């Protein structure tokens, strides 16, 4: 993605215990001068799944390069395994 633009990614949450819940999403590993947000966040899941959109916005002075981001979901005391996503800023 180019600096001063944005990229959106669909994030699907799969529930393994069949119970509706609220999952708060977070992303780590963003380069400096880059922001990210999830919509909605938290995600209210049905008995099987839920979804959110992750939007990443590199600022005009973000450093070009390849970055590995980690997305996690938290529900009460439980945190999911991280899911890796790679972005390229040009």
Which residues constitute the domain of residue 15?
7-89
Q: Is residue 73 part of a domain?
A: yes
CATH number (domain holding residue 28): 2.60.40.10
* DSSP sequence for the chain: --TT--EEEEEEEE-SSS---EEEEEEE-PPTTEEEEEESSSEEP-SSEEEEEEEEEE-TTPPPEEEEEEEEEEETTEEPPPEEEEEEE-
Each residue's pLDDT, cut to its tens digit, for the chain (90 residues) gives 888 889 999 999 887 777 778 899 999 999 999 999 999 999 988 877 899 999 999 999 999 999 999 999 998 888 888 999 999 999
Q: Is residue 1 part of a domain?
A: no
- How many structural domains are present in the chain? 1
């Amino acid at each position: 993605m180019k600096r001063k633009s944005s990229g959106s990614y669909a994030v699907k949450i799969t529930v393994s215990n069949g119970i509706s819940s609220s999952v708060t999403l977070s992303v780590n590993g963003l380069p400096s001068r880059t922001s990210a947000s999830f919509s909605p966040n938290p995600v209210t899941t049905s008995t099987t799944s839920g979804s959110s959109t992750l939007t990443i916005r590199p600022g005009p002075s973000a450093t070009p390069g390849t970055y590995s981001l980690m997305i996690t979901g938290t529900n009460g005391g439980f945190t999911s395994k991280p899911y890796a996503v790679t972005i390229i800023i040009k």
